[in-house]
Structure 1
Amino acid sequence: MINRKELKKRAKKVLKIHYGFLIIACMISGILANEFSDTFTLLSAENEIGVQEDSNAVLPSQLTASQVLKDIVEDNLEEGAKTAETIEKKEISESHDPVLGRTRGVLASVINSVSSGSIFVSIAAAINSMVGSESIAVLIMILGGLFLLFLAWFYIQNVFCVILRRIFLEARIYEKVPFERYMFLSHVKKWTKASFTMFVTSMYQTLWMFTIVGFVIKHYSYLMVPYIVAENPDIGANQAITLSRKMMNGHKWECFKISLTFLGWTLLSSMTFGLSAIFFSNPYKMCTYAELYAVLRKEAKLKNIKDADRMNDVYLFELPNKEELEKAYPEYKDRYVQEPELQGFAGFFANWFGILFKEGKKEKEYQEKMRLYQRYRAVSDVLDAKQYPKRLFSIAEEQKRTLVTGLDPLRNYTIWSLILMFFIFSGIGWLWEVSLHLITDGVFVNRGAMHGPWLPIYGSGGLLILILLKKFRSKPLLNFLCILIVCGILEYSTSYIMEMNTGLKWWDYSGYFLNLNGRICAEGLMVFGIGGMGFIYILAPVFDNLIRKIKPAVTKIVCIFLLIVFSIDMVYSHFYPNTGEGITDYEK
C-alpha cells in the first residue's frame, strides 16, 4: 500500500531545497519536450487573446511563410520566391523599432529569410539545380524536412523525459545538482540507446491508443520506464518496459488516485494561465513521482522481480560513505586543501584578478598550490557527499577532455605577459577588421582611430574579461554571460566617449537585429562572447606558455618599446585621428 501523504511530504521537502533549480528544469522540459506543454499552451492562449484585441496586429511569421511553402509544394518556385521577397520587404518597411533592425548583419538576414520563407525557396532551388526537377526537389525537401523533424523529436523531445527524471532523482538525495547533469546520457555515451528505448515505449503506447481502456492502463504500466532508463540507460528497451509493467502490477489504481490528487492543481493552473503550474505544481508532481519510483524500486528488489538487479545505481538512492569516496577519488584523499594566499598588495591582485607583478620562488609555489586547490574545489561537493559521485556510477562516464584542463586556464598571469597579450590581441583585432573590409569592399583600410596596426578595444576587452572575471573561470556558462555584459559595457562606453570627443562615429550597428543606439548589437556581442571564451580558456594560456619561454629581460624590453610607440600613437591620434572612407563615413 502506497502512503500518498508520506510521498507528498517528502516531495515538498525536496522541492523546498531545490525550488528554483527544479522550476527551471520543468520549464526547459516544457520548451524542449512535450511534458508540461499544456502549461505553455495556456500562456500562449492568453497572448493570443491580447493579439486579437489589437486590430493592427501583424499576422504571425509562420502564417506568411506558409504561403511560400504552399507555392513551393504546388511546383511554383518562381511564385514562391516573389511571395517571399514581398513579405520580406513588407516586414522590413513595417519594422520601425530601431532595436529590432532588419537591414544589416547575419542575424537580421537569418531572421528575414525564416520569417519571409525565402529560406525554403533557397533550399528548394538548390535541390532543383542538383536533380533537375521541381517536383522531385519539392518531394526531397518535404522528406528531408520530415526526417529532420523526426531526428529532433527522437534525440530531444523523446528522450528529455529521461534527463528530467535523472535530475529529480539526484535532487532527492543530494544538496546540489550541477547543470552539466543535463548531459549525463552523453557522458556515458548512451544517448541513442536511451532514445531508442523511449521510442519503442512511445510506439507501444501509440498502438494501445486504438484500445481506449488499454491505452489508459498501459499509460500507468509504462510509467516507470523513463525512471528505469534514467537510473540505467544501458538497459534494453523491452527489458525496461517489462520491468515497468511488473513494478506497476497492483499499483496502477493507486497511481491513478495519486494523479487525481493533483486535479485541483490542474484547475488552478487553468485559472492562473499556467503560472501556478510553472511555479509550483509541475515540479511538485515530478518530486512526488520520483518518490513513488523510489518506493516501487525498493519493493521490486525485495520481491526479487526479474531484471530488478538492472536498477543498480546504488548512490542514486543513498549517500556514499567516506571510505567509498576516498577509494573512487584517491588523488583527493587529503581532502581539506586550503586556498593558498599571497599576502599584502600582491596577494590582493593575485587572488582577485589573477595578476602577478613578479614571478619568483614564492609566486611559483603559490601557482602550484592554486592548481591543486582548483582541482580539489571542482570535486569538493562530491567529496562532501553533497553532489552525485560520477565515478561511482555503474557505467563509466567519459572523462572531460584534457586539452583545456591541460592548458590550466585558471592560472595567474604576470604583468609583462598581460602587456604582451594586450598588443597581440589588439593586433589580431586589427587584422580581423582589415581582412573583413578587404573581403567585403576589396580595398585595404587601416581600421581604427589610431594609426598603428592595433585596435585597443580588442586588447583591452581581452584583458578586462581575463582580469575582472578571474573568479568565474571555473564556471564556463556563467563566465560566458559575464563576458557578454563586460564586452557590451566596454563597446558601448567606448563608442559613446569617442563620439563625444571627436563628433565622429567609428562604428554603427544601426539596422542590425537587437542593437542599442547603433553602438552594440546581439550579433557582435555573440562574436565577442565566443571569442572571449576562446581567449580565456585556450589562447591566453597558449600565449602565456610561449611568452614564459622568452627570457624575462627580453620580454620587459619588448613591452617597454611597444608601450612607448603605443603612447606616441595615442597622443598623435588624439589630435590627428585616423578618419576617412571605411572608417568614419557612416553618414554616407
Structure 2
Amino acid sequence: MWKRRTIKKKAILLMKQGYFRMLPVCFLIAMLTTAYSVSTTFFNLQMPSGSVSTDAAFTAGLPNSEAVLDTAARLLEGTPLAGISHGMIYNIAAMVIDLFSTNISVFFSFLRTANYFLTENISIALIFPAVGILCAFLYQIFISNILLIGEKRFFLENRNYPQTPVSKIFFLYKLRFLPHPAWVMFLRSLFQALWNFTVIGGIIKHYEYILIPYILAENPKIGRKEAFVLSKRLMRRNKWKFFLLDLSFIGWHILSLFTLGLLDLLFVNPYVASCRAELYAVLRRNYVLSRSPGYEALNDSYLEHVPSSDELLISKALYDDSQGPYTKISYFAPGQYPVFLFSVQPPLKAVRSPIRADRRYDLLSFLFLFQIFSIFGWILEALIRLITSGTLGGGSVLFGPWLPIYGIYGTLILLLFRRLIRKPVLVFSLNFLLYTVLEYMTNFVIELITGRMLRDYSEFFLNINGRVYLGGAVTFALIGCAFLYYLAPRWNDRYMKLGHSKRVLICIVLYLLFIADIAASVLIS
C-alpha cells in the first residue's frame, strides 16, 4: 500500500537535494519531446490572427491552432457552423490548442498535409509535406520516445544516487540500444491512440500503460508483451489512486497557465516527475518482494541497493575478468549509478574516453568548425521546416546549404566560453544572451542594406522589435551548449585524425564553395 502524502513528501525531499539537476532535465524534455507542452507556451506563444487563413496550409511557423481550425473551417464551409472561424470562440480554441500541443507532431504534420491537399492540385510539391510527416514520425519514435525513457531513468537513479548526471536522459543512445525500446513505445502510443476513440477506455488504458516507460528504463530488453502485462499488473488496484495523485496537481497546473507555463517549467514538472518516479519505486518494490508473476523482469536491484565501495571494487575486478566494454575505462564516479553493472552494456566501439570540452582549438579547427556548424544549422532548420511547415525554402539568403549565423555563433562560443565549461548554467545564460544580440544585429544590418528583415518575429509574444524571438534564442542556447560540450569536440576529434595536408585541402574546398555561393547570391539578388 502507498499513501499520496508520503509520496509527495519524499518527492519534495528529493527536489531539495537535486533541484538544479532536475530542472535542466525537465527543461530539455519539454523542449525536445512532446511532453510538458504547456511548459513551452511561454517561449512559443504567437499573437492570434483572429481568422483562419485562406492561403495554402504550409506557411513557415504556422501555429498548430491554425492548422486545426483551418481544417475545421474548410470542412464546415457552407454550414451554419462556418462562423467559428472568427471572433472569441476561435481565439479561445486557438489558445487551448497551442497550450496543449507541440509543433513536432505526426498529427499536426498530417493536418497541414490535409489542408494542402484540399487547397492545391496534387503535384510533385506534395513530396515535401509527405517527407515532413515521415520526419515527424521518425522523430517521435527515435528521439521523443527514447528521451522520455531516459527522463524516467534519470529520476529513478536520482532517488539514491545524488550525483546522477543530466546526460542520463541519453543513456539508451550511449548503450546503442534503440530499436527494441522504440518499438515498444511506438506500440504503446498506437494502442493508446486507438483506445482514445472510446474516451473512457482511453483514460483507463492511459493509466494501465503509464508505467511502461519506467519498466523500459529499468530493463530495456524486456519483451513487448511482458512490458504491457507487467505495467497492467503493477497498476492493478492502483489506477484510481494514480488518477487522484494526478488530480492533486491540478491547482498547480491551473496556476501555471497564468504564467504561460513558466511555473510548470520551474517547479511543477520536476515535482510531478519526482512523485511518479517515487511511486513506481514503491510499486516495483512491493511487486518484487511479493514474488508476483514476472517480477524477474524488474532486474535492476541497484536502483534500490546502493553498493558500497568494497562491493564496487569486487564487482569491477570480476568484471575486468570478463573483458567487457568498460574494461579499459575505470567507472567509479562518486554518487552515480555503477553503469558497468547495468543489465545492458554498450558495444566495445561505443565506449569512449570522456570528452574534453575545454580543449584548445587551432586555426584550422576553427575554420573547419565554422563551416560544419553552418551546414549543420542549414540541415537542422530544413528538417524543422519540413516537419512544421512542409517546405524547404526560406531559411537562408544563400543558395547552398549554409547558415552562416550558426557558424559565427558556434565560433564565438568556442572563443568566449571554453574556460567556463564547468559552469553549465552560466554557459547556457551567456549563450542565450550572445545569440539574442547576434540575431538582433544580423537582422538590423540586413534590414539597413535590403530594406527588409531576414526573419520577422513580430507575431511572436516574446520578440524585440520583430528582429529577435526570445523563444528561439532559448533553443539556440541549447544548441550552443550541445555544440560546446559535445559536437565540436567530437567533430574536431575526427578532423584531427586526418593528415595536415588533407585538413588544409578540406578547408580550401569548403571555403571556395562558400565564397562562390555568396558571390552568386549577391549577383542574382
User: Match of 1:573?
Assistant: none
How far is the alpha carbon of 1:293 from its aligned partner?
0.4
What are the equivalent positions in structure 2 for 1:249-398 lying under 5 Å apart?
249-330=236-317, 379=331, 382-384=332-334, 386-398=335-347
2:255 maps to amino acid: L
- Pair 1:15 & 2:6 matched: no
Structure-2 change in CA distance of 1:513 and 1:166 (3 Å): same
Structure-2 change in CA distance of 1:180 and 1:266 (3 Å): closer
1:226 maps to amino acid: P
Question: Contact between 2:357 and 2:486, CA under 8 Å: does it hold in 1?
Answer: no
Structure-2 change in CA distance of 1:150 and 1:8 (3 Å): same
- Residue of structure 2 aligned with 1:242, choices 219, 224, 229: 229
Distance 1:534 1:289 in 2: 33
Structure-2 change in CA distance of 1:235 and 1:65 (3 Å): same
Distance 2:29 2:366 in 1: 43
How far is the alpha carbon of 1:159 from its aligned partner?
3.6
Structure-2 change in CA distance of 1:537 and 1:479 (3 Å): farther
How far is the alpha carbon of 1:290 from its aligned partner?
0.7
- Pair 1:31 & 2:64 matched: no
Which digits, 9 at most, give the CA deviation of each residue in 1:212-243, with x for residues without a partner? 33222222211211110111111122111100
Gaps of 5+ in 2: 63-112, 114-120, 321-328, 373-397, 399-409, 438-451, 457-472, 501-518, 520-525
1:18 maps to amino acid: G
Distance 2:250 2:435 in 1: 49
Question: Contact between 2:357 and 2:484, CA under 8 Å: does it hold in 1?
Answer: no
The SS at the match of 1:173 is coil
How far is the alpha carbon of 1:476 from its aligned partner?
10
Which digits, 9 at most, give the CA deviation of each residue in 1:429-488, with x for residues without a partner? 9xx9xxxxxxx9xxxxxxxxxxxxxxxxxxxx99x9999978667899999999999999
Distance 1:475 1:409 in 2: 12
Distance 1:535 1:159 in 2: 24
How far is the alpha carbon of 1:173 from its aligned partner?
1.3
Who wins on radius of gyration, i.e. which is larger? 1
How far is the alpha carbon of 1:25 from its aligned partner?
2.1
Question: Contact between 1:404 and 1:538, CA under 8 Å: does it hold in 2?
Answer: no
User: Match of 2:324?
Assistant: none
- Pair 1:148 & 2:135 matched: yes
Distance 1:2 1:314 in 2: 20
Structure-2 change in CA distance of 1:66 and 1:318 (3 Å): same
Distance 2:233 2:252 in 1: 30
Question: Contact between 1:201 and 1:237, CA under 8 Å: does it hold in 2?
Answer: no
The SS at the match of 2:311 is helix
1:390 maps to amino acid: V
Question: Contact between 2:151 and 2:168, CA under 8 Å: does it hold in 1?
Answer: no
1:208 maps to amino acid: W
2:343 maps to amino acid: S
Question: Contact between 1:466 and 1:536, CA under 8 Å: does it hold in 2?
Answer: no
Structure-2 change in CA distance of 1:150 and 1:531 (3 Å): closer
Gaps of 5+ in 1: 71-119, 121-133, 334-374, 413-417, 433-439, 441-460, 490-509, 515-521, 548-581, 583-588
Structure-2 change in CA distance of 1:144 and 1:243 (3 Å): same
How far is the alpha carbon of 1:23 from its aligned partner?
2.4
- Residue of structure 2 aligned with 1:161, choices 144, 148, 153: 148
How far is the alpha carbon of 1:541 from its aligned partner?
11
2:157 maps to amino acid: E
Distance 2:259 2:357 in 1: 47
How far is the alpha carbon of 1:14 from its aligned partner?
0.9
User: Match of 1:201?
Assistant: 188
Distance 1:217 1:488 in 2: 45
How many residues are paired up? Answer: 382
The SS at the match of 2:159 is helix
How far is the alpha carbon of 1:18 from its aligned partner?
1.8
Distance 1:194 1:157 in 2: 12
Structure-2 change in CA distance of 1:65 and 1:294 (3 Å): same
1:231 maps to amino acid: E
Question: Contact between 2:11 and 2:275, CA under 8 Å: does it hold in 1?
Answer: yes
Distance 2:199 2:230 in 1: 23
1:197 maps to amino acid: V
The SS at the match of 2:57 is helix
Distance 2:210 2:368 in 1: 56
Which digits, 9 at most, give the CA deviation of each residue in 1:67-116, with x for residues without a partner? 6799xxxxxxxxxxxxxxxxxxxxxxxxxxxxxxxxxxxxxxxxxxxxxx
The SS at the match of 1:18 is helix
User: Match of 1:215?
Assistant: 202
Question: Contact between 2:145 and 2:182, CA under 8 Å: does it hold in 1?
Answer: yes
How far is the alpha carbon of 1:544 from its aligned partner?
12
Distance 2:258 2:267 in 1: 14
- Pair 1:232 & 2:215 matched: no
How far is the alpha carbon of 1:40 from its aligned partner?
3.5
Structure-2 change in CA distance of 1:194 and 1:530 (3 Å): closer
Distance 1:401 1:330 in 2: 21
1:147 maps to amino acid: L
Distance 1:397 1:296 in 2: 29
Distance 2:170 2:301 in 1: 20
Structure-2 change in CA distance of 1:282 and 1:468 (3 Å): closer
The structure with higher relative contact order (CA 8 Å, sep 6+) is: 2
Question: Contact between 1:247 and 1:296, CA under 8 Å: does it hold in 2?
Answer: yes
Percent identity over paired residues: 29
How far is the alpha carbon of 1:271 from its aligned partner?
3.6
Question: Contact between 2:149 and 2:213, CA under 8 Å: does it hold in 1?
Answer: yes
What are the equivalent positions in structure 2 for 1:127-138 lying under 5 Å apart?
135=122, 137-138=124-125
Q: Greater CA deviation, 232-241 or 148-157?
A: 148-157
Question: Contact between 1:34 and 1:157, CA under 8 Å: does it hold in 2?
Answer: yes
How far is the alpha carbon of 1:263 from its aligned partner?
2.4
How far is the alpha carbon of 1:253 from its aligned partner?
2.0
Distance 1:179 1:225 in 2: 22
Structure-2 change in CA distance of 1:223 and 1:279 (3 Å): same
Structure-2 change in CA distance of 1:304 and 1:32 (3 Å): same
Distance 2:157 2:137 in 1: 30
Distance 2:426 2:43 in 1: 30
Structure-2 change in CA distance of 1:59 and 1:152 (3 Å): farther
Question: Contact between 1:15 and 1:22, CA under 8 Å: does it hold in 2?
Answer: yes
How far is the alpha carbon of 1:409 from its aligned partner?
8.8
Distance 1:488 1:39 in 2: 21
The SS at the match of 1:2 is coil
Question: Contact between 1:269 and 1:275, CA under 8 Å: does it hold in 2?
Answer: yes
Structure-2 change in CA distance of 1:533 and 1:272 (3 Å): closer
Distance 1:151 1:202 in 2: 13
